[in-house]
Chains A and B, each alone.
Chain A
Amino acid sequence: MVTSLLRVEHACRRFGGQTALDDVSFQVRPGEILGIIGRSGAGKTTLLRCLNGLERPDSGRILIEDRDITTLPERELVQVRRRIGLVFQHFNLLNSRTVAANIELPLQIAGVPRDKRRARADELLELVGLTGHADKRPGQLSGGQKQRVGIARALAAHPALLLCDEATSALDPETTLSILDLLRDINRRLGLTIILITHEMDVIRRIAQRILVMDHGRVVEDAETAQVLRGGAQHDVTRAFLHGESARLPDALLARLRPDPFAGGAPVVRLTLDTGATGTPVLSILARRHGIDATILQAGMAEGRTHMQAECVVRLSGHDDGAMGFLLQASPSMEVLGYVPADS
């Protein structure tokens, strides 16, 4: 009996001097939704390319339905790839084909006859809620619709596993929700195993039952999502993702925020400050010594490694060369979020 659909054992991959995958091991059970999260450069993309055999790990094994794909010859690898449906960030639809023909592509690759392909495409169009769009070109669809086509295409050849690579990263929040709903629906109705690769905690929180956190090519956290959300995170990187989640900026501020400095613009920074006895009166010092006024735009408490920390987003008015250095010392994780007009 197959107890794990996918098993990665001690996979390592290096590019020159850079380690992209460092002893990565995990399993995926049939029917589950696994979320893999990591910052860019954490090794997510390399892992994905290894999972579908576009790249081979230097060492270690990757077993899909109990077949080790790291040793398979190209010819057999092609067969394994057809068992994996892929959903891409930028959809990767062919503009030279209609929507239906795009969905039929994996079937065409597998050599399914034309009439069967068309019937399957119609079935899938209905599943993803795009009935009636069969003969349109991808260029005529919205981003969300394109991704629905991408999902339909990934499902066409009845895959054992659906791999989603930043599938919602190019979509607006509302569309993201509808695509995630669709994926959860597919998981429930078809019992399909899904792996989501993302950098957004929100995606994981909404649909992944299990979370895998990657950092510098290593898996630093492998746990039930619910457990992590209840505060059971074992690793700093995981907490950083949860953290980033809690302190989302208000929309009104985001609308005014510009990425680059401009004349009359005041920097907006995120500070994480120690509280209580160990803390320094950072904002007072900023005003007295550097003559800079700090307006608190958002503030909250966060659980640091050893004690509570205050996290606040402030706008700095006034100019002093030493101020940034002082702030960096007080809050090493200080982040300049952008610039807003000083008078707002």
Chain B
Amino acid sequence: MSRLILDLILHATVETMEMVLASGLIAVIGGLPLAILLIATAPGGILPLPAFSRVLGLVIDAARAVPFMILLVLLIPVTRLVAGTALGTGAAIVPLSIAAVPYFARIAEVSLREVDRNLVDAVRAMGGTRWMVIRFVLLPEALPGLISGLTVTLVTLVGASAMAGVIGAGGLGDLAIRYGYQRFNTTIMLSVVAVLIALVTLMQAVGNRLARRLR
């Protein structure tokens, strides 16, 4: 394998990691509060507002219902507005994040919902405020599940970021399409697949380990 190809792959890997980690971070920043809001406002939650909870759930599901490929194209005007361009790694982070936020919100919601209700009641009965319930009970008790959920989200983002390559986002997907597919370069195609597998395996292993240690 030539030095050039190696450079290409390395560069593309870094770009993919940039996209995945940046949008993963935004997924947590945006998705976790949404998940907490969903749990808190659900019937029997710490701030029951069933109508609000339902509407929020609908909005989240609507966003998740759009296939990423279509979202990618649909969001081009938004991307231009936020990133100044619709091309490149930075631009791809916008649609990736918008897809990842509701995705992670739903996954995090499941973990938070599994926290023993009695623990929430116990802290309330001790005179804890709603904020204390979130900080002392919901988040720490759900942490292993949240880490696992984040791992799943990141792995999904690796796949989605490759798709973003189709509209010129850079990264491993872009490399595979331009060199591997359009120029029939099998070496690059296979290398990209190998790197993707390694990347996903590594992320899953780290995620599992972290979640297990916290449990």
Residues of A within 8 A of B (CB): 52, 54, 78-82, 84, 86, 88, 90, 92, 94-97, 105-106, 108-110, 157
Q: How far is the CA of A157 from the CA of B127 in the complex (A)?
A: 11
List the B residue with the shortest CB-CB distance to A107: B126
Quick check: is B201 within 8 A (CB to CB) of the other chain?
no
- B82-134 residues with Cβ-Cβ distance < 8 A to A are 116, 118-119, 121-129, 132
Q: Which residues of A contact B141 (CB under 8 A)?
A: 94-96
CB pair B123–A105 under 8 Å, yes or no, is yes
List the B residue with the shortest CB-CB distance to A78: B127
CB pair B118–A88 under 8 Å, yes or no, is yes
Select which of B125, B127, B128, B143 is within 8 A of A79 by beta carbon. B127
Q: Which residues of A contact B124 (CB under 8 A)?
A: 54, 81
CB pair B119–A109 under 8 Å, yes or no, is no
Quick check: is B40 within 8 A (CB to CB) of the other chain?
no
List the A residue with the shortest CB-CB distance to B143: A96
Quick check: is B136 within 8 A (CB to CB) of the other chain?
yes
The size of the chain B interface, using a CB distance under 8 A, is: 19
Q: A92-B118, A94-B119 are in contact. Are A82 and B140 (CB under 8 A)?
A: no
CB pair A82–B118 under 8 Å, yes or no, is no
Quick check: is B39 within 8 A (CB to CB) of the other chain?
no
Select which of B116, B128, B132, B214 is within 8 A of A92 by beta carbon. B116
A-B contact count (CB 8 A): 52
CB distance from A112 to the nearest CB of B (A): 12
CB distance from A50 to the nearest CB of B (A): 12
Q: Which residues of A contact B121 (CB under 8 A)?
A: 54, 92
List the A residue with the shortest CB-CB distance to B133: A109
List the A residue with the shortest CB-CB distance to B139: A96
CB distance from A73 to the nearest CB of B (A): 13
Quick check: is B177 within 8 A (CB to CB) of the other chain?
no
CB distance from A182 to the nearest CB of B (A): 20
CB pair B127–A106 under 8 Å, yes or no, is yes
Q: Which residues of B contact A81 (CB under 8 A)?
A: 124-127
Q: Knowing that A78-B127, A82-B127 are A-B contacts, what are 4 other residue pairs whose CB atoms are under 8 Å apart, sorted by A's residue number?
A: A92-B119, A94-B137, A95-B141, A96-B214
14 examples of A-B residue contacts, CB within 8 angstroms: A52-B125, A80-B127, A81-B124, A81-B125, A81-B127, A84-B125, A86-B122, A88-B122, A92-B116, A92-B121, A92-B122, A109-B128, A109-B136, A157-B126
Q: Which residues of B contact A106 (CB under 8 A)?
A: 126-127
CB pair A97–B127 under 8 Å, yes or no, is no
CB pair B127–A110 under 8 Å, yes or no, is yes
CB distance from B135 to the nearest CB of A (A): 10
Q: Which residues of A contact B214 (CB under 8 A)?
A: 96
Q: How far is the CA of A106 from the CA of B122 in the complex (A)?
A: 10
List the B residue with the shortest CB-CB distance to A153: B126
Q: A88-B118, A92-B116, A94-B119 are in contact. Are A109 and B126 (CB under 8 A)?
A: yes
List the B residue with the shortest CB-CB distance to A110: B127
CB pair B118–A90 under 8 Å, yes or no, is yes
CB pair B136–A86 under 8 Å, yes or no, is no
Q: How far is the CA of A109 from the CA of B135 in the complex (A)?
A: 11
CB distance from B146 to the nearest CB of A (A): 11
Q: How far is the CA of A94 from the CA of B119 in the complex (A)?
A: 7
Q: Which residues of A contact B116 (CB under 8 A)?
A: 92
List the A residue with the shortest CB-CB distance to B142: A96
List the A residue with the shortest CB-CB distance to B128: A109
List the B residue with the shortest CB-CB distance to A159: B126
Q: Which residues of B contact A95 (CB under 8 A)?
A: 141
Q: How far is the CA of A109 from the CA of B124 in the complex (A)?
A: 10
Q: How far is the CA of A111 from the CA of B214 in the complex (A)?
A: 26
CB distance from A243 to the nearest CB of B (A): 32
Select which of B119, B125, B132, B143 is within 8 A of A86 by beta carbon. B125
Of B116, B128, B137, most buried by chain A (CB within 10 Å of CB) is B128
CB pair A109–B123 under 8 Å, yes or no, is yes
CB distance from B16 to the nearest CB of A (A): 33
List the A residue with the shortest CB-CB distance to B129: A78
CB distance from A84 to the nearest CB of B (A): 8
CB distance from A298 to the nearest CB of B (A): 37
Q: Which residues of A contact B119 (CB under 8 A)?
A: 92, 94
